[in-house]
Amino acid sequence: MTPTSERNVTGTSFTRGLGIVTVLGIGLLIVLGLFVSPADVNQGESVRIMYAHVPGAWLAYLAFIVTGVSSAAYLWNRTRSLTWDRIAGASAEVGVLFMGISLVTGSLWGRITWGTYWTWDARLTTTAFLFVTYVGYLAVRGLGGSHHQRARRSAVLALLAVLEIPLVHFSVRLWNTLHQEASVAGRGTDVTMDGLMLFSLFLGVIVFTLMYVWLVLHRQRALALQDMVEDFGLDAALAARRAEEVV
């Protein structure tokens, strides 16, 4: 098969299997979240938004932490490799997607429970700030220069940006906010959530995590391909210049 006719450029048997499991998990999550899990005593049917909102926020945290760790791995001389930089970039891109999802679903949930789509609450404001920071990170990655120049400057930015995550997470404790504290992993060990609701929430977190791994694997491979294409272009330009000099 020639490269021009390929459909599955970045896939392997592992990612194909992972993709199938993820799609099945998404189907189960939608059925459980929309139809099977019970309504909440206080929030009614609106609690169904939780199964998309909370995993989205969790995945954004995870993605940005992976970006920070990969960036540190790139900056460390012993593990310096552009693969780390590409993982950082792919993870940040996926993190921005999930953070955006979390902001929008949270806004829709807020409209039902608080009566407004948006308020300058500490959690909402810090989350929006984190989102904008990583959009900026992606913009910095798109600036010109060699692959290593891109990797160095974006790694430094990622190590600064990751410091915002504790601020976002603990904002509900540091300030008086409308946003509730964590329902499951909050202070104390008592979880008062219904069993099926808790199962649906955990399923959401697992499915979103699998989806994250699938997306990052494909995206970082796509970034590697894009880097190779740029290198080929550069090599061709250098060869043309050398040919002109010889003539």
Partner 1 sequence: MDDLGFILGSYIVTFGSIALYVASVVKRSRRAGRVVSREQRPWT
| Residues in touch with partner 1 (CB under 8 A) | 1, 3-4, 6-7, 9-10, 12, 26, 30, 33-34, 44-46, 48-49, 52-53, 56, 94, 97, 100-101, 104-105, 108-109, 111-112, 211, 215, 218-219, 221-222, 224-226, 228-229, 232
At closest approach, how far in Å is the CB of 152 from partner 1?
22
Angle ∠(48,51,52) on CA atoms, nearest 5? 105
How far is the CA of 224 from the CAs of 87, 185, 218, 219, in angstroms? Answer: 10, 37, 10, 9
Whose Cβ is closer to partner 1: residue 5's or residue 189's? Answer: 5
Q: Which amino acid is at 244?
A: E
At closest approach, how far in Å is the CB of 71 from partner 1?
21
Whose Cβ is closer to partner 1: residue 44's or residue 145's? Answer: 44
Choose among 216, 221, 220, 210: nearest CA to 19. 210
What are the residues whose beta carbons fall under 8 Å from the beta carbon of 72, sequence distance 6 or more?
155, 159
At closest approach, how far in Å is the CB of 91 from partner 1?
13
Choose among 220, 245, 242, 209: nearest CA to 88. 220
Whose Cβ is closer to partner 1: residue 79's or residue 173's? Answer: 79
Whose Cβ is closer to partner 1: residue 33's or residue 68's? Answer: 33
The C-alpha atoms of residue 43 and residue 156 are separated, in whole angstroms, by: 42
At closest approach, how far in Å is the CB of 202 from partner 1?
17
**Side-chain half-sphere exposure of 185, counting CA atoms within 13 A:** 8
Whose Cβ is closer to partner 1: residue 8's or residue 189's? Answer: 8
At closest approach, how far in Å is the CB of 190 from partner 1?
28
